[in-house]
Amino acid sequence: MVPTVIARAAAPLVRATTTKAPYPAVGRRVLLRLASPRLYSTVCPTATPPKPPSRLRRALGFTSLAVVAFFAGLSVAPFQAANKIMAVGIPTDEETLEIFQPVDELSQRIEEHIKTHALAQELRSQADFIESRPHLKIPDTLRDRHLTAGTLAGPDRIVVPPYVWSEKSGKELVSIFYLGDALNGHPGIVHGGLLATILDEGLARCCFPALPNRIGVTANLNIDYRQPVKADTYVVLRATTVKAEGRKAWVEGRLETLPEGDEKPVLLVEAKALFIEPKFASKLPAITKAVT
């Protein structure tokens, strides 16, 4: 009986020691955390405003935009101008022979001399050659800005637009010029740079019909000067396409004197050139090909 009484008396004490704590384990951790000092701040730092771009960077940005817009305009303008010109029409080869009107007596004499010369008559009689004056195919709005057809054309310069006879398939070309005394390098001697330019244009015009899109640019031009070319004289350009392969054409040519009577022509300048058609040639305005 005594042990039983002791057990009953101790029961309330056991129940008191096994009573649940007033806060669960999670709650205790929260209380401990609140009681402990903070190890780091939870306040968001004040954002630093970005620095405005410098004046130099802004200026460069605006300049870049202006340059891009400028060149974009340049790329579009020629095509728009070309479309307007094509709407007016380009003279045919035959029509170019009737356009030029001499401005003075000297021009009239030079015009008649070339037109009726024995060489011109011989070339005119050959069925494979087409007679034309390519400079007169260039519209007036463009001709003033063209080097040989505008800037260097007129009295005392390239006095009359050159006559050209070109073989239809691009194998051969012959042209007759008159070079005045305002084209000199040394006194009384035609500038060598002009002669190179004439050869460059003549050799190119010779081979263009042999290229897929009838247009090309000079990749290489070699000049050998054999004799000084006197001012106020007639000059004959002869060119031959020696090879055409895909977008490339190799041409040889020369400048020589225009013989009178039984004279033999005198070799003045020789040239060899390579012309290459651009890959984008098919997309060029039609006028680019029409005036060559």
pLDDT, tens only, 233-285: 999 999 999 999 999 999 999 999 999 999 999 999 999 999 999 999 998 88
pLDDT at 184: 98
Look at the pTM and tell me if it is higher than 0.75: no
- How confident is the model over 2-6, as a mean pLDDT? 45
- Kindly calculate the radius of gyration of the chain based on its CA atoms and give it in whole angstroms: 44
Alpha-carbon distance of 94 to 106, in angstroms, equals: 24
Residues 191-225 pLDDT 10s: 999 999 999 999 999 999 999 999 999 999 999 99
Residues 52-99 pLDDT 10s: 666 666 656 655 565 555 554 544 445 455 555 554 589 999 999 999
pLDDT at 56: 64
pLDDT at 284: 86
Q: What is the DSSP string of the chain?
A: -HHHHHHHHHHHHHHHHTSPPSS-HHHHHHHHHHHSPPSS--SPPPPPPPPPPPHHHHHHHHHHHHHHHHHHHHHHHHHHHHHHHHHH----HHHHTTT---SSHHHHHHHHHHHHSHHHHHHHT-TTEEEE-GGGGS-HHHHTT-IIIIITBSTTSB-SPPEEEEETTSSEEEEEEEE-TTSBSSTTBB-HHHHHHHHHHHHHHHHGGGSTTS--EEEEEEEEE-S--BSSEEEEEEEEEEEEETTEEEEEEEEEE---TTPPPPEEEEEEEEEE--TTGGGS-HHHHHT-
CA 265 to chain centre: 39
pLDDT at 285: 81
pLDDT grade for 13, boundaries at 50, 70 and 90: very low
pLDDT at 288: 73
Give residue limits of the domains in the chain.
58-88, 91-290
Residue 50 predicted with pLDDT over 90: no
Residues 154-173 pLDDT 10s: 999 999 999 999 999 999 99
Report the topology of domain 91-290.
Answer: Thiol Ester Dehydrase; Chain A (3.10.129)
Alpha-carbon distance of 233 to 138, in angstroms, equals: 25
pLDDT grade for 5, boundaries at 50, 70 and 90: very low
pLDDT grade for 48, boundaries at 50, 70 and 90: low
